[in-house]
Each structure stands twice: as structure tokens, then as C-alpha cells.
Copies of this chain bind each other. A is one copy, B any other.
Amino acid sequence: MGIQIYGFWRSIASFRVRVALKLKGLPFEEIPIDILSGEQFEAGYATVNAERVVPTFIHDGHSVYQSLAIIEYLDEIHPTPRLIPQDAKERAYARSLALMTVADAHPLVTPRVRNHLATAFRAESHAVEAWGKHWTTEGLATYERLLSHRPPEPFALGAEPGLADICIAGHVVTAEYVKLDLSPYPAVARLAERCFAMPAFSTSHPFEQPGYRAASKR
């Protein structure tokens, strides 16, 4: 049985998993769960994912949750090409870079958080937008400082793209969503450009997914 992903076009975490699968050349089927309309809370998906979030990775009847855990798992069962280096210090650096968006910046700008801001604080759309810009800017600034300290050659950890690049590229997609100008972050912008020149990244971009095309035609 092949690989199935429950995902959503807009979801940055789904984007990360899509890129990882494509870099490894693994075919997969993506089953859309519309997290904007609340499909993740319907009974059907609740049995698939106890947290009611996307993505869920399923292979041979085995499920893995959380994009970073999915990418680590893929790297263990299909090690070629490696997305996480073998050297312990380099692995740690790759994971540190990944987590700066996965665990700090990105969780603050997901649809469920934006919706809850509107409900809990009667936040107007411009204030929710400013909130998104604020946290995404924090992430960009952190990455710019780190990439200036250790310049990509040409990817974050070396010659080939990996976990860190996937997560930084996803952060740049979030920056597109919240309409941020990348010019104050030239090292980040160059890295993302290099990534999106590769089909594994460009074809995984949210705006290239069938769900986005269908939504934008409505």
C-alpha cells in the first residue's frame, strides 16, 4: 500500500511533508482536509488524527503525526537522499533551524489561532493581519541572523537541500501569505529562491495545489 497524506493546500506543515516526499522521490496520494471550513473536526477525520490537525502520514496502515516527526521518520526508513545530516552537531543545527519556525513562529499564525484571536479578543482582521506579520517577521529576522553567521553553501547545511531548507522555505511561504517584503532578509530570500528553483519545492507550493486552484475559482 502506498503513502497517503491527509493535508491541505494552505497548510505549511503539509507543504513541508510534500517537499520531503518529493525530494526523496516517493509517490504519495494527498487527501484534502479543508481546515478553513473545519473539516478536521468532523468525526471521520477525528479518528484519523487525535489532534484534529494536518498533516497525517499513513503508510502500510501506520500513522505518523506532526510534520517534523514525519520527515524524521521518512529519513529513517528512506535514507536517500538524506534530509538530516549524519553528524550529530550538524543534525542538531538542522533541527534547531527547523524548530525556530515549527515550534516558535509558525504555530502563532495558523488558521485556528487567527480564528481564536477573532473570537477571544474580538480582534479585527487588520489586527489579526498585524499579528501574523509580527511573528513571521520575528522568524525571518532570526533566520537572517543565523544565515549571515553561517552562510548557506548554497543550502543551509551544505550542497543539498534538507530539513532546515524545507522549514525555512515554508516560513517564506507564510511571509507571502502575510505580504511581507523580504528585502530586509536577503540571505533568507536567496535561500528560498534556490529552493523554489527545484521542482520538489515549486510543485509543493500551496498555490500550486489543486485545492488552491479550486478555491480561487470560486
> Which A positions have Cβ atoms within 8 angstroms of B?
50-51, 53, 62, 64-66, 68-70, 72-73, 76-77, 88-89, 91-93, 95-96, 98-100, 102-104, 106-108, 113, 116-117, 120-121, 123, 127, 130-131, 134, 142, 145-146, 149
Q: Which of B89, B120, B149 is in CB contact (< 8 Å) with A131? A: B120
Q: Which of B77, B93, B106 is in CB contact (< 8 Å) with A88? A: B77
Q: Which among A50, A73, A145 has the greatest number of chain B C-beta atoms within 10 A?
A: A50
Q: Which among A88, A96, A117 has the greatest number of chain B C-beta atoms within 10 A?
A: A96
Contact B103 A145 (CB under 8 A): no
Contact A103 B102 (CB under 8 A): yes
Min CB–CB distance A166 → chain B (angstroms): 14
* Copies of the chain in the assembly: 2
**Residues in B whose Cβ lies below 8 Å from that of A134:** 116, 120
**Residues in B whose Cβ lies below 8 Å from that of A100:** 51, 65-66
Q: Which residue of B lies closest to A107 (CB)?
A: B107
Min CB–CB distance A110 → chain B (angstroms): 8
What is the predominant secondary structure among interface residues of chain A facing chain B? helix
Q: Which of B69, B102, B103, B131 is in CB contact (< 8 Å) with A92? A: B69
Q: Which of B50, B102, B149 is in CB contact (< 8 Å) with A142? A: B50
Min CB–CB distance A120 → chain B (angstroms): 6
Contact A72 B92 (CB under 8 A): yes
Contact A96 B53 (CB under 8 A): no
Q: Known interface pairs A103-B103, A121-B127, A134-B120. Does A64 touch B92 (Cβ–Cβ under 8 Å)?
A: yes
Min CB–CB distance A74 → chain B (angstroms): 9
Q: Known interface pairs A50-B145, A104-B107, A107-B108. Does A68 touch B91 (Cβ–Cβ under 8 Å)?
A: no
Q: Known interface pairs A113-B108, A134-B116. Does A91 touch B103 (Cβ–Cβ under 8 Å)?
A: no
**Residues in B whose Cβ lies below 8 Å from that of A69:** 92, 95-96, 98-99
Contact B113 A120 (CB under 8 A): no
**Residues in B whose Cβ lies below 8 Å from that of A73:** 88-89, 91-92, 95
**Residues in B whose Cβ lies below 8 Å from that of A107:** 103-104, 107-108
